Structure 1
Amino acid sequence: MRVFILIATLLLSSCSSTNTEKVIQDDLVGTWELLYNDQGSYWFSHIGFTKEGQKCSIRYQFNNNKDIEVDYFLSDFSLVRGDIILTVQESTSAFVERNQVIKDRLITHSSASFTQQMFYPIAGDSVDTFVKLNTVKPESICKVVKNQFNTPMESTLTSPQAINKKHVK
């Protein structure tokens, strides 16, 4: 199955590389949902690309106990000849580091959806599919993400209520 996906991806990328190279950064601006790709536990993400060049992401994943885990990502992005280049500013995931550069190759793009595949720092083994969410503004996603990184550090919590809150999580 993976071989088929790889061959299909290569065929799609070779057929559409001219079209995706013509996509400009403003074509990504908006809010998108990254769809589950049948790999691992069920997950999905909401992503906001802003005109100012920020990518704000919220990833929801359901673990084996059916509890939801949420990660937040704030990155700067640019689109260069069909490649989405991200520099991570903030991340709550142990797998994505601050200042890490991530590169995704745009495979297809329309006003309603796009597909991409990571190629740096590692080659992704699946194609990611995004669909446009017209009812949510990217600034709304970014506000939620940025609020996660503007909260006080746990070590600065000193009031009894804050200490109690820290241990209740």
Structure 2
Amino acid sequence: MGRETAALSRVQGAIAKPAVVKAARGLSHFGEHSAGWFALGLVGAAFDKRRRGDWLAASAGIVAAHAASIAVKRVVRRPRPEDPSVKVLVSTPSKLSFPSSHATSTTAAAVLFSGLTGKRLVPVLVPPMLVSRLVLGVHYPTDVVAGSVLGAVVGGLLRRKLKRRS
């Protein structure tokens, strides 16, 4: 067993209790294809008329970050964890693991929405999503870290561009 598989197995053994798994599945469904974050961006656009264009750009940026993660997945082609010590607790749309698209879109959303709300959302939103992917047994630790870095880069670049427009 490799180090990442062992780490993943330890995370599941330590915290994959029924309530945690239920919450992780909820996060998984919310983040699937970045749909939940995209929808929240549309809600922001509906209620913040003055910055509607920025909310729509942020929503598009979240989808772009997700698309970037899919492109990287297709190049890297790392398979998802498959080890008897790891329980897969949710279905996935593909067999590819690196990077985590949930981590990518969540981090991009947190960075972009932080800029629009003035709230520090990254430490609140990102860790639960990253841990949820491990709890559910669908990603290695480096998958979620790489996804988060990719989301931070995409979100950060767009946030800087939006800030210049203001």
TM over 0.5: no
Q: Which structure has greater strand proportion? A: 1
The TM-score normalised by the length of structure 2 is 0.29
The TM-score normalised by the length of structure 1 is 0.29
Structure with the greater alpha carbon radius of gyration: 1
